[in-house]
Structure 1
Amino acid sequence: MKNANILISGASIAGPALAHWLARYGCAVTVVEKAPSLRPGGQAVDFKGETHRTVLSRMGILDDVRALQTGGHDQLLVDAEGRTLAVMPGEFTGGELEIKRGDLARLLHERTASSCAYVFGDSITSLTETPDGVQVTFERAAPRTFDLVVGADGIHSNVRRLAFGPESGFVRFLGHHYALVDLDQDFGPVGQMYNEPGRMAAVGGPKAPAFFVFASGPLDYDRDDVEQQKDILARAYAGMGWRVPEVLAAVRRAPSVYLDSISQVRIDRYSRGRVVLLGDAAYGNTLGGFGTGLAVVGAYVLAGELAAAGGDHRAAFGAYERVFRPYARIARSGNAGPFLAPGSPSRIRMRNWMFKYRFLLAWMMKVTDKFATDIKLKTY
């Protein structure tokens, strides 16, 4: 297969999933990751429906994912006194198969480490396309030329910025931020979630030991400055009731905080020349519930179309676009912010009612399952 020397930026989920397939098709794959190592732990992610199961099975990891699944967790929606108002069931938050993002990343890395080259602690600084390839420079490594470059580096994609233009042209801020924090304090065996208008705080739930969502305007901060992010949370949650002061005190002791915007990627084409985008870099929608499934199915389709086209990237990228964009349309709608942090007491009550009336919940889950299976998988 021509164009078989491929660079992937990003070693979370989409990148290693693609590396798995490309290596199977005989490509020489290099994965570069800015972080110094695999990121352990992290929020829970999930798979749902026959399409996701089929791709995991074809990858040979379905049984491993099942062995590592969390089993899903019910979450109690509580008032300021801790009284239960409603129950968010585990099958709603955790899909069919829920697994910690870090566990899934480790599994994919283990399955590809012997067949692909991983470079941690480095990042791409420039991409220059030539008739025969892409000349790539790095922060640390020596320059190299690759046949193709794949941006699988998340909603704030470095590859997308270098190849397509500034993030502001493709990422739409949806008016909320969220934070995930690992705590040194156990807040009980059952997940609990508390709301005041425009703010949500949860402990012990499916996403992380502490999970926050709050309405705000755009925030300017250093994503590598942990103390600055703790200050933002302290200001955003000042004066909030329930156990929030106690949770914020535990946040102050935490070694790390992941704070980001709830945003959506809108891009007209997934590829430009010899550069193509995959996963959240191309069709991200923060906390939308489909990101991991889209990443894994997208990797299957992109690699399969490259193999089917004999490495002809123009034909393969065009086919990837035609096959996958209709499936990825679910990521172009929806905003988890107002659902998780409703803006008024009445909207909080309406959200809670959904979990009291099972027919509403069943309808929503049926719609979700339909989106998750809305693609006819080819056998490449």
Structure 2
Amino acid sequence: MKTVLISGASVAGLTTAYWLRSKGYAPTVVERAPALRPGGQALDVRGVALGVLDRMGLLEEARSVRTRMRGMTMLDAEGNELWRSTEMTLSSGRLDNDDIELLRDDLVRLLHGRAGDGVEYVFGDSLSALTQDEDGVHAEFEQGGPRTFDLVVGADGLHSKVRQLAFGAERQFVHYLGRHLAVFSAENFLGLDNWQVWMRDETARYCLYPARDNTEMRATLGFASGPLDYDHRDLDHQKSLIAEHLSHLRWETPKLLAAMRTAPDFYFDAMAQVRMRGWSAGRAVLVGDAGYCPSPMSGQGTSLAMVGAYVLADELGRAEDDHRAALARYETRMRPYAALNQALATENRGGPAPEESLDRAKNAIALDA
């Protein structure tokens, strides 16, 4: 049985593990965190990606845990209502479409459960080196001993370790889009009832929405700036950056920033895209944000990751022993789809993409080659 190491146990990695296992591979998933990562913002599964969920037997379960927003309100920087809608939200689009918005941790839980017992998980560890030869990929780890695999898949996000080891320094591929983003959970101190609230001005914005039957709240905060120099491991400094750029906003902002200080699942990063000439190097290949991150500004990172995982496994399953041909076909199929979805962010930086652009991008690939 062919072996594959998958770096990253989030949406891209878990979807890849499921589909490669279905093609006869023995997947090992390595994840730096000690367990599946909690928290995260609401994610959208749209268009062709719904077909991936359906083929995994997860579509109805995903629909059952989708968010149930009734609409949204937009506030100005003083907390005055500018407009409201019961037809759409900025995070998920029209409320009457077939797409699914669900919490990241719910989607990860579903994918992990579906991947099944045929997947080996190594939590609390990370890759430190990769070398390749005709026999396979020799992987070294920060904690565990060295192992050899037939393939290595980088499904480890914007700051991919596999990409760094197999392709080179991050600065070659990650392109900053002029904004930073933070996400965390808090008590629903606003008493939001399936209702989303946005506040924004020219440089800063945030979105608040309830979760878990309105018992908690998820917050997504962002601001525009030039590139920032900060330690990715220093959460206190990152929280200070958020406070510095959003403290001028009025309304409930002070209470929100106070909740951020004690949030157990705080996440912060730059809004950026990954652009590469090739997604494979020998026996190493990238899936999802590691290879073609469109940024959260596109709203399509989750769908790209799930479709990419499916297409990669589909091509490897049909190629038998010719992984080079399979990886080339994976790129050929995915590149037009990835490009259209990345364009949703770069061509519409002032707000959500036009509905017709999103409809075209989310359906711009066929699952059957």
> Are 1:300 and 2:310 matched, yes or no?
yes
| Aligned CA distance change for structure 1 residues 44 and 337 (closer, same or farther; 3 Å) | farther
* Change in CA separation of 1:327 and 1:80 when aligned onto 2, cut-off 3 Å: closer
User: Partners of 1:90 and 1:258 in 2: how far apart?
Assistant: 26
Post-superposition shift, 1:70? 1.3
Mapping for residues 1-380 of structure 1, pairs under 5 Å: 4-49=2-47, 51-72=48-69, 74-87=71-84, 89-90=87-88, 93-94=91-92, 96-189=99-192, 190-204=195-209, 209-287=218-296, 288-335=298-345, 339=349, 364-378=354-368
Aligned CA-pair RMSD: 2.2
1:297-325 deviation digits (Å, cap 9, x = unpaired):
11111001001101411010011011111
- Report the CA distance shift for 1:98/1:257 in structure 2 as closer, same or farther (over 3 A): same
Aligned-residue offset at 1:366: 2.7
What code does the residue aligned with 1:30 have?
T
Query: 1:179-205, CA deviations, whole angstroms, 9 ceiling, x for partnerless residues?
Result: 112123522313211112211123226
Q: Which ranges of structure 2 fall in alignment gaps of 5 or more residues?
A: 94-98
Give the conservation status (yes or no) of the 8 Å contact 2:159–2:170. yes
Q: Which amino acid aligns with 2:43?
A: V
The structure richer in helix per residue is 1
Contact 1:69/1:97 (8 A) holds in 2 = yes
Q: Which residue pairs with 1:346 in the alignment?
A: none
Partners of 1:98 and 1:153 in 2: CA distance: 22
Task: Confirm or deny: 8 A CA contact 1:226 1:256 kept in the other structure.
Answer: no
Q: Which amino acid aligns with 1:123?
A: S
CA shift in 2, pair 1:215/1:92, >3 Å: closer
TM-fit CA distance, 1:123 = 0.2
Q: In structure 2, do the counterparts of structure 1 residues 223 and 187 end up closer, same or farther at CA, with 3 Å as the change threshold?
A: farther
Provide the secondary structure at the position in 2 that maps to 1:217: coil
State the distance in 2 between where 1:202 and 1:74 align: 13
Cα deviation digits, residues 251-293 of structure 1 (max 9, x gap)? 2232342110000101000101100000000110221111111
SS in 2 for 1:242: coil
SS at match of 1:294: helix
Q: Relative to structure 1, is the Cα distance of residues 208 and 216 closer, same or farther in structure 2, using a 3 angstrom cutoff?
A: farther
CA distance in 2, matches of 1:98, 1:134: 37
1:128-187 CA-to-partner distances (Å, cap 9, x unmatched) read 001110110001111000010000000111100010000000000111101112123522
Q: Any unmatched runs of 5+ in structure 1?
A: 343-350, 355-360
State the percentage of identical aligned residues.
Answer: 44
Deviation at 1:12, TM superposition (A): 0.2
Secondary structure in structure 2 of the residue aligned to 1:213: strand
* Counterpart-to-counterpart distance in 1, 2:320 and 2:25: 11
Whether contact under 8 Å (2:79, 2:250) holds in the other structure is no
